[in-house]
Amino acid sequence: MSILIDSQTRLLVQGITGRDGSFHTQQMLEYGTQVCAGVTPGKGGQLFANSVPIFNTVADAVHQTSANAAVIYVPPAFAAGAIAEAADAGLGLIVCITEGIPTVDLLRILPFVREKGARLVGPNCPGLISPGSAKVGIIPGNICLPGRVGVVSRSGTLTYEVVNHLTREGVGQSTCVGIGGDPIIGTNFIDCLAAFESDPDTDAIVMIGEIGGTDEQQAAEFVAGNVKKPVIGFIAGQTAPKGRRMGHAGAIISGSSGTASEKMAAFEANGISVMERPVDVVHLVRERLGQVSV
């Protein structure tokens, strides 16, 4: 089993004819994802890869293909509008890969998305993958292995590194979710922790955070009160100087609550095993599962 996506996901790609959209759509098709439609205004009626119909609007695509999820690869200036269009068309899952969307645009769009009952993953995220079933976004399929460890991360690069360490040691994943590193995102750690806790085919959870904000501390408190499965955590930016942003717009220390040491202390205080380095993930997962084969 998995969370958010599976083999029944019918995916619509917004921006399918652009450079990034076309490249990653091909990757998703080769992985086995059901890419049933693409949307690029003005290019309706064409085919992508001789198989995926392209539509002018999301509403037309959903009506004609029964798509139930969207992934967005459009420029920042148009991405908020693309999110709103997907939500308005009734899609339940919207994954936005686009980086650099103005925060004010997200503040305006998120209430509308929630009002429509949709879940937004991202923006500025690598998407998600349920190994062996489907991938939505840009996480490389070749580093993943089907299994029973859930992964949720603010960092795309660290997602890849941790997943690669797990796979190389034969520790498979149920779903890997990159939630994005912007200050305003649609799906947070707590959303994913709750979903993994409810998933009968996830035995342990790996959570990868970074400096800046208090999301990790809030997630740690949630784990203590609501998650019975073992959780292993990592905080990126442990050597970052105060006031220096590290990669993501949200990864900036603006006070004591945003430091790596404060977040790691919160993890330990709430029963989360802390990785000093990403390579430690395999040992800690196996240790918390009592050497059970995963």
47-93: per-residue pLDDT in tens? 999 999 999 999 999 999 999 999 999 999 999 999 999 999 999 99
Q: What is the CATH number of domain 10-121?
A: 3.40.50.720
Q: How far is CA 141 from CA 113, 131, 209, 226, 230, in A?
A: 29, 7, 22, 31, 25
Q: How far is CA 155 from CA 160, 161, 261, in A?
A: 9, 10, 18
Given a cut of 70, whether residue 294 has pLDDT beyond it is no
Q: Catalytic site residue 63? A: no
Percent of the chain with pLDDT over 70: 92
Give the pLDDT confidence of 207-245 residue by residue, as tens digits. Answer: 999 988 899 999 999 999 999 999 999 998 776 566 555
Closest residue by Cα to residue 68 from 50, 95, 47: 95
Rounded Cα gap, residues 57 and 44, in angstroms:
8
- How much is the pLDDT for 255? 53
| CATH number, domain 139-288, options 3.10.560.10, 3.40.50.261, 3.40.190.80, 3.30.2350.10 | 3.40.50.261
Least confident of 11-25, 209-223, 227-241, 278-292: 227-241
Helical H segments across 172-254, by residue range: 189-198, 215-226
Q: What is the DSSP letter of 175?
A: E
**Who has greater pLDDT, 255 or 82?**
82
48 CA to centre of own chain: 25
Q: 3-class DSSP state for residue 265?
A: helix
Given a cut of 70, whether residue 256 has pLDDT beyond it is no
- Mean pLDDT rounded to a whole number for the chain: 93
- How much is the pLDDT for 245? 53
Backbone phi, then psi, for 164, in 5-degree steps?
A: -65, -40
Given a cut of 60, whether residue 278 has pLDDT beyond it is yes
Closest residue by Cα to residue 94 from 107, 105, 84: 84
Confidence category of residue 1, pLDDT binned at 50, 70, 90: low
- How much is the pLDDT for 251? 47
- How much is the pLDDT for 291? 61
Backbone phi, then psi, for 101, in 5-degree steps?
A: -70, 130
Burial class (CB in 10 A: 0-12, 13-18, 19+), 276: exposed
- Do the domains 10-121 and 139-288 sit in the same CATH topology, yes or no? yes
- How much is the pLDDT for 275? 96
Catalytic hit among 24, 63, 165, 248: 248
Rounded Cα gap, residues 213 and 162, in angstroms:
22
Is the overall model pTM greater than 0.85, yes or no? yes
Give the pLDDT confidence of 83-126 residue by residue, as tens digits. Answer: 999 999 999 999 999 999 999 999 999 999 999 999 999 999 99
Domain boundaries of the chain, sorted by first residue: 10-121, 139-288
